[in-house]
Structure 1
């Protein structure tokens, strides 16, 4: 099989590639140190499985995944990350990721994941599944709507008009949102809610 490993930390990438090359069914490994390089290689080479980090320069692993799906390439995508962020995971699943696993696993575990996706299966880290099940959205339906409009750059006055509420009620909802998710301002509230998949 031919693999692509995209990881911006070169020591980690080199170590991963050396260990993967010791596996008898790994024929060739292409390396990329950012998401754009990964896309360039995917356009030029025949690759069976792309192993992607999420946070990389130029393009993230999620950007690469979305690019692959938009261009309907047959390549299987395995995201390997240190981040247990719910928003990342949900975006990956929505884009049809084949596997989403955490970095603290052995190469034999990773090979087992690669074989799973090549045979048409999916694999998601159990820790992430647990996070999803225990990470309930603390916002009410109305608070969610208010925060979604805040994320669109609307002012309190505009939100009040759109939701048929008073300006004071919108401000109360905004304060309640900040308290519930421990945010100090609008930008922080939007980031926290998006990371957790609450909006």
Structure 2
């Protein structure tokens, strides 16, 4: 009997997204029929997740709009049955730690062999967790000092947004934005908001 697997693939690089979709369509055997919905940014992925149920979310981390980690956090908050696998270029400890906190089923680097991805999908769909042991160990490192509000404000600041623009995007007052950024700068021992964003990004905290 053929098992149907409904997959949401979120990846902002068109070439990588197309290659992954082709791999998924070719790699499964006769017992699994995979339907892949492709989106090119985190906001489109969020819209899809709110509109329909998926068996699996396969997502990058760094994308325009919502990050892959925010998508996984949303699914966790909704107590969604959707399984999650992160496929990223970066094995930063902060990313892995937050992924584990959000109940991610798999965390793979994009340079992993294609067979590893197919194996991870099978394992995750069976209720298991697949994370490279060395990556998991690295997640024991630095503690992320930022809260979600500071993280969102700092990420926008790092993109070059002004205090006013950040306030409008987050629907908060400009004074509140300044407070969030000041807290983030102090926690990271940074010289300014751009320096703080750079430090946080290197750690995988944004």
Shared fold (TM-score, shorter chain, > 0.5)? yes
Pair 1:113–1:93, CA change in 2 (3 A): same
- In structure 2, relative to structure 1, the CA distance for the partners of 1:85 and 1:197 (3 Å cut) is closer
Matched residue pairs, number? 160
SS in 2 for 1:65: helix
Are residues 1:4 and 2:8 paired? yes
Query: In 1, distance between residues paired with 2:64 and 2:201?
Result: 21
2:23 is aligned to 19
SS of residue in 2 equivalent to 1:80: strand
- Structure-2 separation of matches of 1:33 and 1:106: 23
Map residues 1-199 of structure 1 onto 2, 5 A cutoff: 1-22=5-26, 23-24=28-29, 25-132=32-139, 135=141, 153=182, 185=191, 187=193, 188=195, 192=199, 196=203
What is the alpha-carbon root mean square deviation over aligned residues? Answer: 2.8
The aligned residue for residue 140 of structure 1 is none
Contact 1:86 1:195 in 2 (8 A): no
Q: Residue 38 of structure 2: SS of its match in structure 1?
A: strand
Aligned to 1:27, what secondary structure does the other structure show? Answer: strand
Any idea what the Cα deviations from partners look like across 1:62-92, whole Å, max 9, x if unmatched? 1111111112211001001011211111111
What SS is found at the alignment partner of 2:182?
coil
Deviation at 1:44, TM superposition (A): 2.4
Alpha-carbon distance between aligned partners in 1 of 2:204 and 2:66, rounded to the nearest angstrom: 21
Q: Which residue of 2 aligns with 1:143?
A: none
Rate the CA distance shift 1:21–1:58 in 2: closer, same or farther, 3 A.
same
Q: TM-score, normalised by structure 2?
A: 0.67
TM-score scaled by length of structure 1: 0.69
Give the superposition deviation at 1:45. Answer: 2.9
Q: CA deviation at 1:34?
A: 0.5
Measure, in 2, the Cα distance between the counterparts of 1:55 and 1:114: 21
Q: Distance in 2 between matches of 1:116 and 1:77?
A: 11
Structure 1 spans left out of the alignment, 5+ residues:
138-149, 160-173
C-alpha displacement of 1:27:
2.3
Kindly indicate whether the alpha-carbon contact (under 8 Å) linking 1:54 and 1:79 is maintained by their aligned counterparts in 2. yes
User: Which structure 2 residue ranges, 5 or more long, are not aligned?
Assistant: 144-178
Is residue 20–residue 26 contact of structure 1 (8 Å, CA) maintained in 2?
Answer: no
Q: Is the 8 A contact 2:56 2:84 kept in 1?
A: yes
